Amino acid sequence: MGGRSELSPPTLTTSAANPPYNARFLMSPQLESVKAHLLAQYETLISPLLEAAESGGFSVRCAEVACWKATLPAGAALLTSVLGLCCRATSEKVVEEKGWTLEAGTDAPRARLRTDYVARLKTTFGPIAVPLFALRTPGAGSATIAPGRELFPHYPHMRSSELLIEWECALAADHPFRKASEALLFFSHEAADIEDTTIERHAVAIGNAVPLDWLYQTPEKIREILRDRAVRDLDTGLPIINASTDAHALKRFVDERWNPQWKMTNGIRVWTIDKKTGETIHLGGEFTWGDCVAVRGRFEWLQQRGILPTDGDYGDGVVAQIALVTDGLDWITEYVLALFPDAVTVLDPYHVLQHVADAAKKAFPAKKSKKTIQAIVRRARKALGMRERRDRTAERAGPNRNRRKRRWSGFDGSGERLLDEVLRPLLEKATRGKARIRRAIRYVERNLFRLDYGELRTRGFTLGSGAMESMHRTGSQLRLKRAGCHWTAEAAQGILNLRMLAMSGRWREYWDQAALPHIDTIRRAA
């Protein structure tokens, strides 16, 4: 589709009074010659298009493709010139700071214009070669310096421009690396021809270098959202901020034999609910391969950074009610809930129902017991207050166009009702599976203080862990659980960080920084 062309840097004007290897070219007026060079190239590219258009020789598609073919080399030439002038200005600044004299016949620094002092980059316009305007310093201890290199902090470890690296990371975060390479080539009209291995290396290096602060909204932004948009606790009037942690499995290489096994990665999410729309407002989240101790460390870090303060005080008069939604596992109680003594803790009702269903299956293992098990689960739903609403309809084609859509909603029951109406009677009637039923009873009894769904629902708290589960799908599984995907811990973490950076809403802010942080980390990784 589009053409590729590696364009030479703008030719420097030289004469007997301005020899090419003397540093006087730094102070000579070069801008007009650069403009003339560019305009001559543009005319060469544009004139054939206009002449062909005048004769009506283009369809709409052909015209657009032809314009892209002209735009790419023109953009590459302009980018080369702009970066070249920036490098020259940097060298001029060094000459001025050192107080070197550039008059003819003096001991002046000499220009080094060899190919060794050219930065050859791949960009979104295609490959370019930028002169660095290197200098050979005067005096006995002379050395070659290239001040223009500071414009390319990743070079030569990453021979892609920062914008192209951003494109690579954006595509790699959503697609397999080979597909990312193909998409980049297609949508850049063959200007950005990057190997999938290069995209992988860049994405993993950048992803692992993203500071964790960028995966969350700033405390100031969270304070603003809580004050203006968050649902409030009807008892106290405080805005509610939710947090949760949960694990899911990814296939990861575990030893030098590259043996893939399912390993658990722990997700952490902080969110609130929009009081007007009821939508989830994502405030930040991350994934870690660490164990329960590492998860506790991440929550302690959130406390220290003011993203999830222990007392919910975000300053400026904004104090939030922290709500922790969990699945009732003991390690979460011991390592996470203990950090927030004033938080409201909620046990996800669907995990409770899962325990009830497992107990019912043990009590009635026969194939014909399906309806019995369903009836037990239905009674458990009612005990927890999950009402069945029939006022929703689904539009369908055909004679049964308006069919009722059954949906369970509302949580105004409690754990005591579940024990009295379902689990304890089941234990008395069952002839088998009593151990599993007792385990379910202990699970409910241990979490009774988190099961007062009627009061929690009335106050306005989120009761389900759907927000946490949806982060597993969108933040991890859509990319990392594809067929045949096996990950090293480093590669998976890099992709997870990129996806969570995009999910935090701070992607553009991160890439718009004057210089990407942790350059040394990126260099070592690349």
Which pLDDT score, from 0 to 100, does residue 155 have?
84
Is residue 210 domain-resident? Answer: no
Is residue 179 domain-resident? Answer: no
Per-residue exposure over 223-250, b if at least 16 CB sit within 10 Å of its own CB, e if not: bebbeebbbbbeeeebbbbbbbbbbbeb
Is 64 in the same domain as 13? yes
Which pLDDT score, from 0 to 100, does residue 404 have?
42
Which pLDDT score, from 0 to 100, does residue 391 have?
45
Is residue 37 domain-resident? Answer: yes
Segment 58-92, tens digit of pLDDT: 889 999 999 999 999 999 999 998 998 898 889 88
Which pLDDT score, from 0 to 100, does residue 447 have?
87
Please tell me what DSSP assigns to residue 21.
Answer: T
pTM score = 0.85
Which pLDDT score, from 0 to 100, does residue 318 have?
96
Is residue 138 domain-resident? Answer: yes
Burial (CB < 10 A; 0-12, 13-18, 19+), residue 444, is buried
Picking from 152, 168, 202, the residue at the C-terminal end of a domain is 152
Q: Residue 525: how many CB atoms within 10 A of its CB?
A: 19
Distance (Å, rounded) from C-alpha 201 to C-alpha 218?
Answer: 29
Is 20 in the same domain as 127? yes
Give the mean pLDDT per block of 10 residues along the chain (526 residues): 37 35 48 85 90 86 92 93 89 85 67 82 94 83 87 86 95 96 96 95 93 96 96 94 93 80 93 94 95 95 96 95 90 91 92 92 85 90 71 49 44 80 91 91 89 86 89 93 88 96 95 73 56
Is 440 in the same domain as 468? no
Which pLDDT score, from 0 to 100, does residue 409 have?
45
Is residue 194 domain-resident? Answer: no
Is 251 in the same domain as 385? no
Give the count of domains, the chain.
Answer: 3
Residue type (1 letter), 62: C
